[in-house]
Structure 1
Amino acid sequence: MDDAPDAPAPARRRWHIAVFLAPALLVYGVIMLVPLAQTLWLGLQNLRDGEAVFVGLDNVRTLFGDPRYADGFWNALHNNFVFFLFHILVQNPVGIALAALLSVPRLRGVALYRTALFLPTILSFVVVGFIWKLILSPLWGVAPMMLGSVGLRSLFAPYLGQEAYALATVSLVSVWQFVGIPMMLIYAALISIPNEIIEAAECDGITGFKQFFKIKLPLILPTIGLTAILTFVGNFNAFDLVYTMQGALAGPNLSTDILGTYLYRIFFGFQLQQGDRYMGATVATAMFLIILTGVAFYLFVIQRRLRRYQM
């Protein structure tokens, strides 16, 4: 008589995974999740007779219905979208072009070029803002002197002081500072393409620009999509550069005001404007929902289409 088969061994509980994850989750929860929950809760409260009470969506109605808040919010949101468009239409294409140039085989000095192009990214916002204010100053700036030396002084204008050009100028300064991020991400994607694919393309006579657009570009589309959503999140959280170059009032005449600077004035107050932490938390909640909507759209719409395209 054969012995009965051995019973399957019970599944091992991997407690060590939870142990190793616990510190990171604890730090993330304390630094990110708890403040986020407190901000969302604060946005549902307001002062009544000197005491904080739950008011539901009254703050939201005030934000979108009261001209004191609504006009500034919609202006800041519009400027934020313009700020984002400059990055998505200028920064990321330039980053792709630079990455393509750096990935050219047998290019000399790649490490030097890569370091020089990425260097502005690690500089402080204060340093970058102050340097560009000096460069663009109509009194002692380098830009008017350089243009004057080649007979193009007439092209210079006090761009940071004119409503029509201030936002574009600040956006381009931000592009200059952060173009290294998409460049490095896309460069890493390009050099990770298997050599077999490139060799097969060359055997078929596909080289140069044709090879990049027909072979390499489709393979790095997921990285380009990731770069786009990181740009979106970073731009709608922006504050430091605008504050450094244009101040809390985001002048001239609020022409460079974005959601970050608008939130700062509403929450903390500025000059004669008194701060309101409850309305400030409502603005922060609106920013969170805008960013959440953009990220969800990328994850559930764009990323799925990219996966289908790759398949």
Structure 2
Amino acid sequence: MMQTETSTPIIKQRSTRKWKRWGIHLFPIPALLIFSIFIVYPLIAALSYSFYDWNGISRGAFVGLKNFKDLFTLQPFSGMFWNAAQHNVLYFVVQMIVQNGIAFLLAFIIYKKIKGAEFLKIAYFLPRLLSVIVVGFLWKLILNPNFGALNVLLGKFGLENLQKAWLGDPKTALMAIILVNCWFGIGFALLIFLAGLQNIPKELLEAATLDGANGPKMLTKIILPLMVPSIMIMTVLTFIQSFEAFELVYAMQGSQGEPYFSTDTLAVFFYRLAFGGGAGDSTAVGLGSALAVVLFLFIATCTALLLKLMQKKQVEM
């Protein structure tokens, strides 16, 4: 009788522990459902749609890889594709040099604990708190050729010859959008680099100083090699953001890549194909889906390679 009374609480404790152990696995289910509905299903649907011909929003006959072939060979789609791809590459290169370069310098200055460093961190991160759409519309007003603040300031300083229709000139429109994106992203990159700098052991820097490593030598020989993980993280994030560039371009120039497709990106081109009718072709949904699949595979493959390179660098260190 005593054994039965003693064993009952033990059995209850075991069942409670077992329920808790299995209950933990229930918590990710809502997140998995959201991820499946908004990420996995659209990817699978896009892959499926890319193998069919389309009449408006009605699915037509199965065409296999024809949409992929047309995307790379059929005009005007192939021309627009390569034009947009070049703009994405430029997007990435300029962001790496301007955005991440300035962010690293600012992070290094703040790391040196100059006066007002905390205020600078907040000030540089503030633009990141704004919506991308809001940032786009604000800068569209600033760059307006008639009453925009930039042209007005240039006029005040007697630099009328530098005044331009910044978003209306094919030579300056894309670069203007990229530089706005750099301004918007500097704060986030600064925090990543600053975190990397603060993780460098101070004992190592002190030892390097005793060995005679000062100034540029300290930066190039000690700090930069130890910053490789942070630099690689920002490279991956910048790459993904550059090849997914859509919101800012859309807010500042719409979905037509104006002027004369000089601000087109692959994401904007996809939007125009899938939802804007493309060039009026009946297979626009199929072509848009094919482009979405190509873009996803390209970003995923390059990101995986960059992450593999980052792991290799960390092991070597």
TM-score category, normalised to shorter length: 0.7 to 0.9
1:69 and 2:77 are equivalent in the alignment: yes
Structure 1 counterpart of 2:237:
230
Structure 2 counterpart of 1:189:
196
Q: CA separation of 1:16/1:210 partners in 2, compared to 1, >3 Å: closer, same or farther?
A: farther
Structure 2 counterpart of 1:146:
153
Q: CA separation of 1:51/1:21 partners in 2, compared to 1, >3 Å: closer, same or farther?
A: closer
Structure 2 counterpart of 1:277:
285
Range moving further from structure 2, 128-137 or 272-281: 272-281
Q: CA separation of 1:51/1:183 partners in 2, compared to 1, >3 Å: closer, same or farther?
A: closer
The one-letter amino acid paired with 1:110 is: A
Structure 2 counterpart of 1:9:
none
Structure 1 counterpart of 2:167:
160
Q: CA deviation at 1:78?
A: 1.1
Equivalent positions of 1:232-247 (< 5 A) are: 232-247=239-254
What is the TM-score normalised by the length of structure 1? 0.88
Gaps of 5+ in 2: 1-16
SS of structure 1 residue aligned to 2:250: helix
Alpha-carbon contact 1:40-1:281 (below 8 Å) kept = yes
Q: CA deviation at 1:304?
A: 4.2
Range moving further from structure 2, 21-30 or 94-103: 21-30
Alpha-carbon contact 2:181-2:248 (below 8 Å) kept = yes
Q: CA deviation at 1:82?
A: 1.1
Q: CA deviation at 1:77?
A: 0.9
Structure 1 counterpart of 2:45:
38
The one-letter amino acid paired with 1:200 is: A
Equivalent positions of 1:1-311 (< 5 A) are: 15=22, 18-47=25-54, 51-105=59-113, 107-269=114-276, 273=280, 276-300=284-308, 302-310=309-317
Q: CA separation of 1:51/1:87 partners in 2, compared to 1, >3 Å: closer, same or farther?
A: closer
Residue by residue over 1:11-53, the C-alpha shift from the partner in whole angstroms, topping out at 9 and shown as x without a partner, is x9964553444443333223211221111111122248x6534
- Inter-partner Cα distance in structure 2 for 1:270 and 1:120: 34
The one-letter amino acid paired with 2:215 is: G
Gaps of 5+ in 1: 1-11
What is the TM-score normalised by the length of structure 2? 0.86
Range moving further from structure 2, 271-280 or 122-131: 271-280
The one-letter amino acid paired with 1:299 is: L
Alpha-carbon contact 1:46-1:278 (below 8 Å) kept = yes
SS of structure 2 residue aligned to 1:83: helix
Alpha-carbon contact 1:44-1:54 (below 8 Å) kept = yes
SS of structure 1 residue aligned to 2:167: helix
Q: CA separation of 1:20/1:42 partners in 2, compared to 1, >3 Å: closer, same or farther?
A: same
Range moving further from structure 2, 33-42 or 221-230: 33-42
- Inter-partner Cα distance in structure 2 for 1:254 and 1:75: 8
Structure 2 counterpart of 1:3:
none
Alpha-carbon contact 1:138-1:158 (below 8 Å) kept = yes
- Inter-partner Cα distance in structure 2 for 1:224 and 1:211: 17
Q: CA deviation at 1:291?
A: 0.5
SS of structure 1 residue aligned to 2:71: helix
Structure 2 counterpart of 1:5:
none
Alpha-carbon contact 1:118-1:180 (below 8 Å) kept = yes
- Inter-partner Cα distance in structure 1 for 2:125 and 2:287: 38
Alpha-carbon contact 1:265-1:273 (below 8 Å) kept = no
- Inter-partner Cα distance in structure 1 for 2:106 and 2:222: 17
Alpha-carbon contact 1:248-1:270 (below 8 Å) kept = no
The one-letter amino acid paired with 1:165 is: T
